[in-house]
Amino acid sequence: MSIDMSQFYQVFFEESAEHLASMESQLLELNLSAPDPDQLNAIFRAAHSIKGGSGTFGFNDMTEVTHILETLLDGIRKNEIAITADMVDAFLQAGDVLKGLLEAHQNGTIADPAPSLEIRARLEQLTAKGGQLKTEVKGQKAELKDVEPEMASVQHIYQLKFVKSAAIFPDKESLNNLLADLSNIGKLENQKISAKSVQLSLTSYASEADLRDIFSFFLAPEQLVVTKLGEAQAPDATADSDPGYGFFEELAAEAETPIETVSDEENAQGFGFFVAPEVLKSEIENAQGYGFFVEVEVKPEPVVVVPVEVEPHRRATDRVANAAAGTGETSIRVSVEKVDQMINLVGELVITQSMLAEIASHLDPVLNENLISGLTQLELNTRELQEAVMSVRMMPINFVFSRYPRLVRDLAAKLDKRVQLKMIGEGTELDKGLIEKISDPITHLVRNSLDHGIELPQERIDKGKDPQGTITLRAAHQGGNIVIQVIDDGAGLNRERILAKARQKGISYHENISDTDVWQMIFAPGFSTAEVVTDVSGRGVGMDVVKKNIEGIGGRVEITSRPQEGSIITIRLPLTLAILDGLSIAVGNQLYIVPLSFIIESLQPRPEDVKEISGQGQVLHVRGEYLPVIALHKIFNVEPKFTNPSEGILVLLEAEGKKVALFVDDLVSQHQVVIKSLETNYRKVVGVSGATIMGDGRVALIMDVGALVKFAQR
């Protein structure tokens, strides 16, 4: 029975994406003048893992690219080829090509072969250029061996024995790929291939950790037995000890006919399996994941069966717990849909608990002491459960930050600028939904800082600055919010140029306008002070979208800037989109929730502070500003307690750079409410962004402050 390998595709896609991200990150951090061997090995391992997986699943286009990439990386990490900036560019380009191929396989489409052919040719050219250096290095090694023999590396002789099953090696080619990888790092001898296992000896400079790393994609650790038999005398360094892939065909031929058949008993003893004597099966073909479950016939005395349980959606290197130490898995993959369902159920539990608390508030505390005590404990447990479940959706912001080193590197080279990127607080967590929504706004802010903020190197030198500019991404928690800052040490914003552009576009302002209000002008649609329009920026499209998107998820954007010192753009966001901190307000018999992030203050105005403008409604005069008054009872056609603003309460709100005064009857209290989608359960209502259920069972509408501000403008 054949194994359907497509069931494991998603695991490969996820792990390959992780390897590509890791490889790009390591390449960007690499110091070309003194490359770190650990970083080089990590880059090589990432490429090697992708190659092994793509070969196993038959994605040959990826295998062809990673094979050439791996060959060049192997020469670099062995100090046979000197790494150059051109090579790093090629490696990054190869990563982009592999991402495209991976996406095509994931979507079931056919990728354009041109980028693959181009990068393969480029890598082969770089490998050929490194060939001369490789020969020189080998000659130097031989010379060193004559002078200082003790410096020569020591070869190790290993005996390797590992499981061979249809679940692990679905076809002959996948096993041959593994054996070819082994032949690249040493000399293979005494191969014994049976239906269930492979045994061979390997003479190599590689450490046991390196060997296990090669096997890690195919096998779990306990499926491989490595025995170190001794050390071999170092061969002549002038000889090429790497047999290359020419050995591949020979090995494939040998694999056709086993040299020696290993018995099932020998298999069991070699791998330390515990099996029952009554078991009589050659192989379990429906093994899941990359794991295994081999049952064999054994004649010795009976012992207990201890099967190895595996998770089909975990990588081979992560699945196996340390049984001796009693430790288990530290993480599992769970679909977002399941997490959202769990959060929704906890939200319902919070609402139910609030209802019970509301009912209990009307009971006699003496007669119902035990009940009230139990409900108090339930409230505590519910809050802790809510916080724990919400944390499941929390992800480190590094998922966003990690894409910017490449962006800054490429864009700086395009603009002939020297820029370094610093990242602070990458481990700061926020809701996954927010991470998906803030990626594009932060990308635009980083591009803007690099293009408009950071000066050219000579210009910075003339100002007495370091020719290399710095862009800093910083994230931190402040109270119930997350604060993200994009900081640059460039020229800063030019007040006069912004005001001149505002006059040109017909934007009105008073003479004593503050710097803060001037900086907010750059968020106006179509606003740009760039003298030249480029493919990077200058069209006035972007900053207005940035602010709209940030405010659309309950956040706000602030700017501070100093001439020739740089700018700081600060984004404040709620930690999650599922729970909202809001203020409940009353209009007649109805309750409404206003998000706290939009509230400036609330007040009861004096009669003389409210003015009537003919044909345009009422305005509130407060601290030199006239703000439009929005009567909430008129918008929702509700019978209010008060019709005169001086008798009720005015809540001052700010959204999209505009301020309004919301006229309500009363302020009730502050709440942390669970947001329910009104569109999903009813339909879209203008001025309303969602709904929640209060403790007494009433539905309270959550105000869409941005829509209210636009309503006031109309």
User: 500 — alpha (psi -120 to 50), left (phi > 0) or beta?
Assistant: alpha
- Give the integer Cα–Cα distance in Å for 65 and 612: 73
Q: What pairing do the DSSP bridges indicate for beta strands 625-631 and 658-664?
A: parallel
Instruction: Look at the block and give the residue holding tokens 């790494």.
Output: 83
pTM for this entry: 0.56
- Give the integer Cα–Cα distance in Å for 572 and 574: 7
Picking from 489, 492, 491, the residue whose alpha carbon sits closest to that of residue 420 is 489
State the 10-residue block means of pLDDT for the chain, 714 residues long.
Answer: 66 86 88 86 88 83 88 86 88 91 88 88 83 51 40 71 80 77 81 86 82 75 84 49 37 39 38 35 35 36 37 36 40 77 83 84 87 89 83 85 89 91 89 84 90 91 92 84 90 88 81 83 74 52 78 83 91 78 90 88 91 83 88 89 90 82 91 77 80 81 82 69
The pLDDT of residue 602 is 92
- Give the integer Cα–Cα distance in Å for 527 and 509: 15
Output b/e per residue, 193-210; b: 16+ Cβ within 10 A: bbebbbbbbbbbebeeee
Q: Which domains does the chain have, with CATH numbers?
A: 1-150 (1.20.120.160), 153-306 (no CATH), 336-393 (1.10.287), 396-574 (3.30.565.10), 579-713 (2.40.50.180)
- How do residues 571-616 score in pLDDT, each as one tens digit? 988 777 677 788 999 999 899 999 887 888 999 999 899 988 877 7
- How do residues 265-323 score in pLDDT, each as one tens digit? 433 333 333 333 333 333 333 333 333 333 333 333 433 333 333 333 333 334 333 33
- Give the integer Cα–Cα distance in Å for 454 and 446: 11
Sequence-distant (≥ 6) Cβ neighbours of residue 182 within 8 angstroms: 160, 188, 200, 202, 211, 214
- Give the integer Cα–Cα distance in Å for 673 and 594: 11
Query: Environment class of residue 45 by beta-carbon count within 10 Å: exposed (0-12), middle (13-18) or buried (19+)?
Result: buried
- The token duo for 266 is 């020998």
Query: Environment class of residue 608 by beta-carbon count within 10 Å: exposed (0-12), middle (13-18) or buried (19+)?
Result: exposed
- Give the integer Cα–Cα distance in Å for 574 and 262: 63
- The token duo for 105 is 């396989």
The pLDDT of residue 613 is 83
- Give the integer Cα–Cα distance in Å for 517 and 391: 37
Other CB atoms within a 10 A radius of the CB of residue 25 amount to 19
Helix (H, G, I), strand (E, B) or coil at 100: helix
In Å, how far are 296, 576, 587, 594, 675 from 664, measured between CA atoms? Answer: 79, 28, 6, 11, 22
The pLDDT of residue 137 is 46
Kindly report the backbone phi and psi dihedral angles of residue 506, in degrees, each rounded to the nearest multiple of 5, phi listed first.
Answer: 80, 25
The pLDDT of residue 324 is 33
Sequence-distant (≥ 6) Cβ neighbours of residue 512 within 8 angstroms: none
- The token duo for 315 is 């990588």
Are the CB atoms for 475 and 425 separated by under 8 Å? yes
- Give the integer Cα–Cα distance in Å for 688 and 701: 7
For residue 557, give the amino acid letter: V
Picking from 379, 319, 333, the residue whose alpha carbon sits closest to that of residue 354 is 379
